[in-house]
Chains A and B, each alone.
Chain A
């Protein structure tokens, strides 16, 4: 990648938090409470711990070659052709993340707000915004994230504080006594998204202008994960297991619950604000990782030339690969788990092992 681009450690942490929250913030409570019932929040906690563990693995990969992105590393470790093949597959992973998020966003808006607007139109507008982000490069994306971050945090806290009067502790009792096995099962779909998706950051980590980047990565995932735990907990406390599970967008319903003195009401758009910002960065990052992979694959001089064609490709695939909300949800809770495990867990571990092997070989060559 272009070596001139540098982003600060703080901006990197914010980008990580945004990517953890992304789609997850609005759909995760429904998914985990379907498995773990009143212990759904525990599933999120388990997944967060796992996510932190994964970041340690990603950090180890980064440390091996701190000046090379994942595509360059793949070619370095597995040779040019196998490396290119793996890069291509990794791009497919980024591709799926991007169209998946795009679709979720389009579905949300056409379900809750703009019912009669064609989903293609909504997704097109969202994608155009992301396109500008990608075209201006990661530096601009990161700075934009830094600007929006306070608003997101403020909205989250406002939401959590305003719904507290509606919370009832009995909704999550008995705590961790029944359905514990379900709580463990509920953590599984969460590994796929958002935590294993963090592997995408390996594609531009070398651009971060900070020696403590590994720590920044860990901090980002931890904060993001804990925010998810709190939001799931509050969803369960306020809505109860049944409502949380049955709604497709439980966090949005949580926003609808806000009612302070019959006056402060109907401000569920607060939730939408949090969500639009975070998912924007999620789509942008996926898109960006895809583009730089493409550049690496074809050895292009400049990545910007491929950004426009990809708008069309992404849009068309988002429309045709996830034709309905039902298929989207089923994809996320079934196929996505092994798929994301392949690229988020197996591939990184393979890279680590290959790295060890390579080092040994390299060492032997040097020794005589």
Chain B
């Protein structure tokens, strides 16, 4: 009996000490941050957090309050600023559900390295959010915009980035571990995608923006920003960004058009691409071979050719190959001009010809600007869509008859 009482008391005691209440955080004490914007002001950082308003997202009754709010504060470091936010928010910021971190362009040009240590050190931070740059504007302005379709703007930016990477190609989604990997690697430079606000920021931050069919202010995804070490030094344009993604084997699906011999264009949809990078030595200097193999479908035929002829199809294939090579060369040239090995050619050489790499490692920057890159493209047209010859041909004929 005595033993039983003892066990009972002991279990009761255990309940008290093993409940883990020391670290309890109630949901009502947390502010779920979905986006962080980091800007620089003098030598201080301005951190803006986009925080969910849970009642608006999942509440049974909608009020006319907004689904998110932003809070902003400054501090000597990111962590200080994040904690100083508690002076303005009623709750403590919780960062595990973060979707995006946006850097202001000014900060990016000065260097983002110092801003990232906290991001990779803090235990609340996961690695599945993306990073990007607010092109030509302050990062906090991007987080202020309310978006149609998605109630949480940070989510909209996150999915826009992923969607446009998957279906349109000149976009690159960068996660924090990949970024740090590039920042620390001597043979590879970092890239981050840009975004910007189109329209009036004041209107964009009010409910007015989402109450119209045609939202006057939108967050737009831009192209790839090139870094040298941790400083933003330039931007690729759309074609060059696409070329970058072709070279780094990051294209899953995209659309492109080439001119026909006769006036008009023919549009192809890229279904499947694979890029192989080979590093070689040629007379003691490095050489890269980029080999893209691509399967494409015909998407639009806007010129009078008979695409059911084998010869015509192989003509189109050649043209697409040439176009692909052109955009890849354009992107390589731009990278050389900026003197930044964003493709990681150095990494490839280090892997494939490790002995010779040692000779180039020291002045890789110089070697990269003079690097001989050979681009090969192999395009196969597989399907022509649901129709064979375009009805446009017949229509044009009728038109001519009438004339």
* Cβ-defined contact, B123 with A174, below 8 A: no
Which B residue's beta carbon lies closest to that of A170?
A: B351
Which A residue's beta carbon lies closest to that of B347?
A: A170
* Cβ-defined contact, A243 with B177, below 8 A: yes
**Smallest CB separation, B393 vs chain A (Å):** 44
B351 / chain A contacts, CB cutoff of 8 Å: 170, 173-174
Rounded to whole angstroms, the CA-CA distance of A121 and B354 in the bound complex is 50
Among residues 339 to 394 in chain B, which have CB atoms less than 8 Å away from a CB atom of chain A? 347, 350-352, 354-355
* Cβ-defined contact, A125 with B18, below 8 A: yes
* Cβ-defined contact, A115 with B177, below 8 A: no
Q: Does A117 contact B (CB under 8 A)?
A: yes
Q: Does B323 contact A (CB under 8 A)?
A: no
B12 / chain A contacts, CB cutoff of 8 Å: none
A-B CB contacts (within 8 Å), total count: 48
* Cβ-defined contact, A256 with B354, below 8 A: no
Query: What does the 1/0 interface line of A115-131 toward B look like (CB < 8 Å)?
Result: 11110010001000000
Interchain CB contact (< 8 A) of B22 among A112, A121, A174, A239: A121
Rounded to whole angstroms, the CA-CA distance of A266 and B96 in the bound complex is 11
* Cβ-defined contact, B22 with A116, below 8 A: yes
**Smallest CB separation, B355 vs chain A (Å):** 8
* Cβ-defined contact, A178 with B354, below 8 A: yes
* Cβ-defined contact, B181 with A243, below 8 A: yes
* Cβ-defined contact, A242 with B22, below 8 A: no
Q: Does B180 contact A (CB under 8 A)?
A: yes
* Cβ-defined contact, A242 with B123, below 8 A: no
Interface centre among B17, B127, B177, B354 (most CB of A within 10 A): B177
Rounded to whole angstroms, the CA-CA distance of A113 and B350 in the bound complex is 38
* Cβ-defined contact, B123 with A259, below 8 A: no
Among residues 157 to 193 in chain B, which have CB atoms less than 8 Å away from a CB atom of chain A? 177, 180-181, 184-185
Which A residue's beta carbon lies closest to that of B344?
A: A170
**Given A173-B351, A257-B127, are A242 and B181 also a contact pair (CB < 8 Å)?**
yes
A174 / chain B contacts, CB cutoff of 8 Å: 350-352, 354
Interface SS of B by simple majority: helix
**Given A117-B23, A243-B180, A259-B128, are A112 and B18 also a contact pair (CB < 8 Å)?**
no
Rounded to whole angstroms, the CA-CA distance of A239 and B127 in the bound complex is 11
Q: Does A177 contact B (CB under 8 A)?
A: yes
Q: Does B280 contact A (CB under 8 A)?
A: no
Query: What does the 1/0 interface line of B7-40 toward A look like (CB < 8 Å)?
Result: 0000000000110101100000000000000000
A246 / chain B contacts, CB cutoff of 8 Å: 120, 180
* Cβ-defined contact, B23 with A116, below 8 A: yes
Which B residue's beta carbon lies closest to that of A112?
A: B123
* Cβ-defined contact, B185 with A256, below 8 A: no
Q: Does B126 contact A (CB under 8 A)?
A: yes
* Cβ-defined contact, A118 with B354, below 8 A: no
Rounded to whole angstroms, the CA-CA distance of A114 and B352 in the bound complex is 44
**Smallest CB separation, A26 vs chain B (Å):** 15
The count of chain B contact residues (Cβ–Cβ below 8 Å) is 21
Q: Does A240 contact B (CB under 8 A)?
A: yes
Which A residue's beta carbon lies closest to that of B17?
A: A125
**Smallest CB separation, A227 vs chain B (Å):** 25
A178 / chain B contacts, CB cutoff of 8 Å: 354
Query: What does the 1/0 interface line of A207-218 toward B look like (CB < 8 Å)?
Result: 000000000000
Rounded to whole angstroms, the CA-CA distance of A113 and B17 in the bound complex is 17
Interface centre among B18, B22, B355 (most CB of A within 10 A): B22
Which A residue's beta carbon lies closest to that of B21?
A: A117
Which B residue's beta carbon lies closest to that of A118?
A: B22
Among residues 117 to 159 in chain A, which have CB atoms less than 8 Å away from a CB atom of chain B? 117-118, 121, 125
A333 / chain B contacts, CB cutoff of 8 Å: none
Q: Does A342 contact B (CB under 8 A)?
A: no
Interchain CB contact (< 8 A) of A239 among B20, B123, B177: B177
Interchain CB contact (< 8 A) of A117 among B20, B123, B177, B347: B20
Which B residue's beta carbon lies closest to that of A172?
A: B351
Rounded to whole angstroms, the CA-CA distance of A246 and B123 in the bound complex is 14
Among residues 224 to 268 in chain A, which have CB atoms less than 8 Å away from a CB atom of chain B? 239-240, 242-243, 246, 253, 256-257, 259, 265-266
* Cβ-defined contact, B181 with A240, below 8 A: yes
Rounded to whole angstroms, the CA-CA distance of A115 and B124 in the bound complex is 10
Rounded to whole angstroms, the CA-CA distance of A137 and B35 in the bound complex is 53
A307 / chain B contacts, CB cutoff of 8 Å: none
* Cβ-defined contact, A256 with B22, below 8 A: no
Among residues 226 to 250 in chain B, which have CB atoms less than 8 Å away from a CB atom of chain A? none
Which B residue's beta carbon lies closest to that of A38?
A: B351
* Cβ-defined contact, B18 with A256, below 8 A: no
* Cβ-defined contact, A114 with B20, below 8 A: yes
Rounded to whole angstroms, the CA-CA distance of A170 and B184 in the bound complex is 17
* Cβ-defined contact, A242 with B354, below 8 A: no
**Given A125-B17, A174-B352, A257-B127, are A117 and B180 also a contact pair (CB < 8 Å)?**
no
Among residues 50 to 100 in chain B, which have CB atoms less than 8 Å away from a CB atom of chain A? none
**Smallest CB separation, A180 vs chain B (Å):** 11
Q: Which 8 A-B pairs have the closest CB atoms?
A: A117-B22, A114-B23, A173-B351, A174-B354, A178-B354, A177-B354, A116-B23, A242-B181
Interface, chain B (partner A; CB < 8 A): 17-18, 20, 22-23, 120, 123, 126-128, 177, 180-181, 184-185, 347, 350-352, 354-355
Q: A114-B23, A115-B123, A116-B22 are in contact. List 7 more A-B contacts (CB 8 A).
A: A117-B20, A121-B17, A170-B347, A177-B355, A240-B181, A243-B180, A246-B120
**11 A-B contacts (beta carbon < 8 Å):** A111-B123, A112-B123, A116-B23, A117-B20, A170-B347, A177-B354, A239-B177, A240-B181, A243-B177, A243-B181, A265-B128
